[in-house]
């Protein structure tokens, strides 16, 4: 996906931090990256940090991230519903369907 880009070596490092749910360690990144790439990366971070988001932008971002998280949860539930449908476990299906309905409602509220 990032093959051939000058920043190619950066993305696997960032992805690894995200998988571990950690904040990237700048000192460690500096050790692992080409000095020129690290300098460019830091310049971009500094540019971004100079732009203070409005409260509305921050809320929109939080809502979008929450919607993505809810969608991911909803996608995980769908195979479970199918599994319980095959086994005939109506109680589990009803419970999971209620959760899907709650998720859908919350997503609609956040997207307005």
Residues of the domain holding 31:
10-50
Rounded mean pLDDT of 85-111? 94
pLDDT of residue 53: 63
**Count of domains observed in the chain:** 2
Residue 63 pLDDT grade (very low, low, confident, very high; cuts 50, 70, 90)? confident
Torsion angle, CA of 102/63/21/39, rounded to 10 degrees? 160
Higher-confidence position of 44 and 69: 69
What span, in angstroms and rounded, lies between the C-alpha atoms of 112 and 19? Answer: 30
3 located within any domain: no
pLDDT in tens, 70-89: 899 999 999 999 999 999 99
Between 103 and 36, the higher pLDDT residue:
103
Query: Which band of pLDDT confidence, cut at 50, 70 and 90, is reported for residue 52?
Result: low
Residue 34: left (phi > 0), alpha (psi -120 to 50), or beta?
A: beta
Q: How confident is the model at residue 2 (pLDDT cuts 50, 70, 90)?
A: very low
Does one domain contain both 75 and 94? yes
**Residue 1 included in any domain:** no
Residues 45 and 65 reside in one and the same domain: no
Q: How many CB atoms lie within 10 A of CB 1?
A: 5
């Amino acid at each position: 996906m990032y093959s051939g880009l000058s920043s190619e070596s950066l993305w696997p490092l960032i992805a690894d931090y995200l998988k571990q749910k950690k904040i990237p360690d700048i000192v460690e990144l500096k050790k692992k990256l080409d000095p020129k790439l690290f300098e460019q990366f830091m310049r971009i971070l500094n540019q971004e940090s100079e732009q203070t988001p409005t409260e509305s932008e921050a809320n929109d971002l939080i809502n979008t991230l929450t919607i993505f998280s809810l969608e991911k949860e909803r996608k995980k539930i769908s195979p479970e519903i199918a599994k319980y449908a095959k086994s005939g476990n109506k109680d589990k299906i009803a419970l999971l369907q209620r959760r899907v309905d709650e998720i859908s409602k919350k997503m609609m509220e956040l997207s307005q």
